[in-house]
């Protein structure tokens, strides 16, 4: 790789313990977030899991989706939940009930140690945005998918984030600063997924935008870390000089029931030719 992967999720194992625990609990909380559930329903429909299939979730995080997939494929199938973070895999394994047909594997999505044509379907959710070479990851996902199998990608379009209820000057300053704080991050990843699948040779490519709507700061904070006051300053996700005023205004907007935040997350899928 020529440039390092980006953001806290680019190298989870290097994070201080408190930051790791917070991020892992956020990954778990996403499984109950109604807006993330809408995104995942669209992704489920795009992947079309069936009993007996062998599926891969690359960058599986806490394993929430991998566990659901394991139930869907049943004991005649298998789900491989792959992640580059040893800590994440250990924590995910610990919360996985015994008997599910799921195997946790450490690996790099850009250099998969998995056989070609060996999966009926592969998915990767909110991982590509963190990678230095996302197209290499898409090529790898296509390589391990059997001909006729499906590849499903889910990713955020951070540039779509919009807020109402806080003073407009503060919302604009926060947005500009966040995007520049993460200038090396693929903030537009969601809208690029379709093109990346086409370039990797997938056919029948579809792309579906799911716009998440949050009307309370706590729910928004599960998906957008800059609404979550539990994200510690050392995570480097929120500009220090805006932090105090920002969280005070966000909380006040929530108390007045005037808070609104939106974010578009894209689901794209294609078939291996
Ligand atoms: C934002 S989390 C998303 C987790 C999960 N897909 C979800 O939607 O809840 C990104 C995950 O990708 C993993 N990751 C980052 N770079 C990776 C790489 N090169 N190969 C495999 N996993 C990677 C991180 O360890 C983290 O668990």
Among the residue ranges 10-24, 59-73, 138-152, 200-214, the one predicted with the least confidence is 10-24
Most confident of 17-21, 30-34, 180-184, 233-237: 30-34
Where are the alpha helices (H) located in the chain, listed in sequence order?
17-30, 34-47, 64-73, 86-94, 134-144, 168-181, 189-199, 217-223, 240-255
Measure the CA–CA gap between 214 and 259, rounded to whole angstroms. Answer: 8
Residue 110: CB within 6 Å of ligand 1? yes
pLDDT > 70? residue 6: no
Give me the residue label for tokens 């491989």. Answer: 80
- The CA 99 to ligand 1 mean position distance, Å, reads 24
**117 dihedral zone (left: phi>0; alpha: psi -120 to 50; beta):** left
Q: What is the DSSP letter of 112?
A: -
Virtual CA dihedral for 10, 16, 17, 19, nearest 10 degrees?
-60
> 177 falls in which pLDDT band (50, 70, 90)?
confident
> 231 falls in which pLDDT band (50, 70, 90)?
confident
Q: How far is CA 248 from CA 98, 238, 241, 260, in A?
A: 44, 14, 13, 15
- The CA 9 to ligand 1 mean position distance, Å, reads 6
Q: Which domains does the chain have, with CATH numbers?
A: 8-159+185-210+265-271 (3.40.50.150)
- More confident position, 240 or 120: 120
pLDDT > 80? residue 23: yes
Residue 125: CB within 6 Å of ligand 1? yes
Please count the residues of the chain: 273
- List all residues 6 or more positions away from 169 whose beta carbon is below 8 Å from its beta carbon: none
pLDDT > 60? residue 1: no
- The CA 118 to ligand 1 mean position distance, Å, reads 21
- The CA 253 to ligand 1 mean position distance, Å, reads 32
pLDDT > 80? residue 103: yes
CB of 110 within 8 A of CB of 141?
A: no
Residue 12: CB within 6 Å of ligand 1? yes
Residue 130: CB within 6 Å of ligand 1? yes
């Amino acid at each position: 790789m020529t440039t390092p992967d980006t953001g806290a999720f680019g190298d989870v194992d290097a994070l201080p313990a408190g930051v790791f625990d917070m991020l892992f609990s956020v990954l778990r909380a996403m499984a109950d977030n109604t807006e993330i559930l809408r995104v995942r329903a669209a992704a489920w429909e795009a992947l079309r899991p069936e009993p007996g299939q062998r599926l891969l979730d690359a960058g599986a995080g806490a394993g929430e989706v991998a566990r659901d997939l394991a139930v869907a494929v049943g004991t005649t199938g298998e789900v491989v939940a792959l992640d580059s973070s040893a800590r994440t895999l250990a924590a995910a394994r610990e919360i996985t009930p015994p008997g599910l047909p799921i195997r946790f594997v450490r690996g790099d999505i850009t250099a998969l140690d998995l056989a070609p044509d060996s999966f009926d379907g592969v998915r990767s959710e909110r991982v590509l945005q963190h990678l230095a070479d996302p197209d290499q990851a898409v090529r790898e996902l296509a390589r391990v998918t059997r001909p006729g199998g499906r590849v499903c990608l889910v990713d955020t379009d951070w540039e779509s984030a919009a807020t109402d209820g806080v003073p407009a000057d503060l919302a604009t300053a926060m947005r500009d600063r966040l995007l520049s704080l993460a200038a090396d991050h693929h903030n537009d990843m969601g809208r690029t997924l379709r093109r990346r699948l086409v370039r990797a040779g997938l056919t029948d490519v579809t792309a579906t935008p799911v716009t998440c709507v949050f009307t309370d700061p706590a729910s928004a904070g599960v998906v957008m870390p800059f609404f979550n006051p539990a994200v510690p300053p050392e995570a480097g996700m929120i500009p220090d000089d805006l932090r105090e005023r920002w969280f005070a205004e966000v909380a006040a907007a929530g108390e007045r029931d005037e808070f609104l935040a939106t974010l578009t997350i894209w689901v794209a899928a294609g078939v291996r030719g």
